[in-house]
Structure 1
């Protein structure tokens, strides 16, 4: 790090070919790819394939990553596995192989530049009984926490089976990065890349609502959950949730306070692609709860996350908090 206040990007990905090699050829892998194809549609798959091929070195080569970071003015990245590595379709033995390999490979990638790269591992949401072990393994590799999707097949994040995971994450101070992969609206979003542009923020909003309304954040106030994509639609539409909480006993049965109050217990990245929405997110959640995020190096990310932050016209103190201080505190960074 070259500045007293390092610029920290908390939303950046690494592609792990060894994880793909591990699952390729398994019957469940073929079914998962078929589901992904149905959800995205042929046009999106064709564009995404070319995009990944064009950016493969940035996703896998630490030297290329560091050069791109320098060009962006980013000092530190929090690197998480590509969400395509979740593989929540795997059985228990294969799931353990996936998260162990993903954790170790991500840690190895980050050790190539220990002052500039921090990492996140994976936990198998489809096998909650393994989740605490997987989190501990990630932390044991020197990773800062884990990345999870918005749900697993047949389980929402409000499922009681995840209580040990939330408790352990709160106890250890681990970061839990909430990044959806795939939207259950399926073929309704299979054109014009709606699977991502509409699907991702929808999944973010649903997942966060499960955490809020079920009381997970009441029971585990120390949880450090970082929501990708600015938390999706929820922060800018939280008034409807508050109204339901006040108007309906079924909506207020699980959480102790109005839903909007919990936004100040969560963290959000800044990747909302609109300065007006970023200002609204800061107003709703607080500048101390927003972190710089780029979705490096994917095409739905920002090639200039610092510039996008400045475009929102926020006060200088808020910009400094979002660009640096909030993430530095979460990651326990020290200046060089």
Structure 2
């Protein structure tokens, strides 16, 4: 039996925290593709959401850029370590190859430099250009060369799902190196259907997670790469709590039997953050994926995250070993900090 004192000594680790990098935005400024991407973003989110989001992000710039401000906020939350990833607004999947390479290199180097100011408390993830699969391995290696733990990706790239065979070298390299892949959607392809009441985020993000993870499961990517270390943001969206429907389709329909096992079994091959905003949903996530596959996440410092990730975790009333596993034990093992 594990000594309770050993459990309490585990560091509290938040795997979902973000960073803004001015150098990335300077690199893309003035490109026609940026204006087109912003027009699409405006259509998808709607004017009311944009009117709120601009000031919200502006008020949080110090937490997103200043290491001292970040550390003070972490102390206030009771968080010992953050896994920091660039803001998904830095993906710029519209960029052509050379600009995309520059964006990712700047993001990787900027994230590494930010984390190097507090190396005992901050670890980082870089970016790769999903829109150019031929560059993905090169830039994954670049991220790892900077000392980062892996990379952050969205749920899809224009014209490509994560099941696309063009990504096979990426999955193979990530598996070979042990790199973490953090799946964090940005935008939703349901477009103007979600342009009111911030549905683009509240409904769109969980939908994108579910679609992306389903592509990875049903296509056999996780069969071919069982050692892939993939963390799904936002608790994996709708998929873990509705995985029974996927299992039924796998049993009932031959066109849904592309993967070797029932879909629910793959949840225990993935990792999920705890950011689901409901203690009952969090409990169900632990039941579906296993307590060893859930990691503390806050979406620091955005308004759709939580300022009290430990409070949200305590509200789920988990058994003590599970609480400490999610609080930091699982992440410590994954990040090789233990």
Give the equivalent residue in structure 2 for 1:223. 228
Instruction: Report the secondary structure of 2:318's partner residue.
Output: coil
Give the equivalent residue in structure 1 for 2:212. 207
RMSD: 0.6
Q: Distance in 2 between matches of 1:301 and 1:78?
A: 15
Instruction: Report the secondary structure of 1:11's partner residue.
Output: strand
Give the equivalent residue in structure 1 for 2:5. none
What do residues 210-241 of structure 1 show as CA deviations (whole Å, max 9, x unaligned)?
00000000000000000000000000000000
For residue 17 of structure 1, report the CA deviation from its aligned partner: 1.1
Q: Distance in 1 between matches of 2:325 and 2:24?
A: 35
Q: Does 1:264 align with 2:268?
A: yes
Q: Distance in 1 between matches of 2:65 and 2:148?
A: 17
Q: Distance in 2 between matches of 1:135 and 1:260?
A: 29
Q: Distance in 2 between matches of 1:116 and 1:178?
A: 22
Q: Choose from 130, 137, 140 the match for 1:135.
A: 140
Q: Does 1:22 align with 2:27?
A: yes
Instruction: Report the secondary structure of 1:301's partner residue.
Output: coil
Q: Does 1:321 align with 2:325?
A: yes
Give the equivalent residue in structure 1 for 2:85. 80
Query: Which residues in structure 2 correspond to 1:153-168 (within 5 Å)?
Result: 153-168=158-173
For residue 24 of structure 1, report the CA deviation from its aligned partner: 1.0
Q: Distance in 1 between matches of 2:233 and 2:58?
A: 24
For residue 4 of structure 1, report the CA deviation from its aligned partner: 3.3
Q: Distance in 2 between matches of 1:116 and 1:134?
A: 24
Q: Does 1:306 align with 2:338?
A: no
Q: Distance in 1 between matches of 2:179 and 2:208?
A: 22
Q: Distance in 1 between matches of 2:327 and 2:241?
A: 21
Q: Does 1:69 align with 2:74?
A: yes
Instruction: Report the secondary structure of 1:303's partner residue.
Output: coil
Give the equivalent residue in structure 1 for 2:290. 286
Give the equivalent residue in structure 2 for 1:31. 36
Q: Distance in 1 between matches of 2:170 and 2:66?
A: 32
Q: Distance in 2 between matches of 1:97 and 1:324?
A: 34
The normalised TM-score by structure 2 is 0.97
Q: Distance in 1 between matches of 2:114 and 2:275?
A: 24
Runs of 4+ in structure 1 displaced over 3 angstroms?
none
Give the equivalent residue in structure 2 for 1:273. 277
For residue 57 of structure 1, report the CA deviation from its aligned partner: 0.1
Instruction: Report the secondary structure of 2:60's partner residue.
Output: helix
For residue 167 of structure 1, report the CA deviation from its aligned partner: 0.2
- Structure 1, unmatched stretches of 5+, are none
What do residues 297-319 of structure 1 show as CA deviations (whole Å, max 9, x unaligned)?
00000000011000001100000
Equivalent pairs counted in the alignment come to 331
- Structure 2, unmatched stretches of 5+, are 1-7
Give the equivalent residue in structure 2 for 1:152. 157
Instruction: Report the secondary structure of 1:226's partner residue.
Output: strand
Q: Distance in 2 between matches of 1:20 and 1:189?
A: 26
Q: Distance in 2 between matches of 1:42 and 1:196?
A: 14
Q: Distance in 1 between matches of 2:226 and 2:314?
A: 31
Q: Does 1:50 align with 2:58?
A: no
For residue 143 of structure 1, report the CA deviation from its aligned partner: 0.2
Q: Choose from 182, 189, 195 the match for 1:190.
A: 195
Instruction: Report the secondary structure of 2:27's partner residue.
Output: helix
What do residues 158-193 of structure 1 show as CA deviations (whole Å, max 9, x unaligned)?
000000000000000000000000000000000000
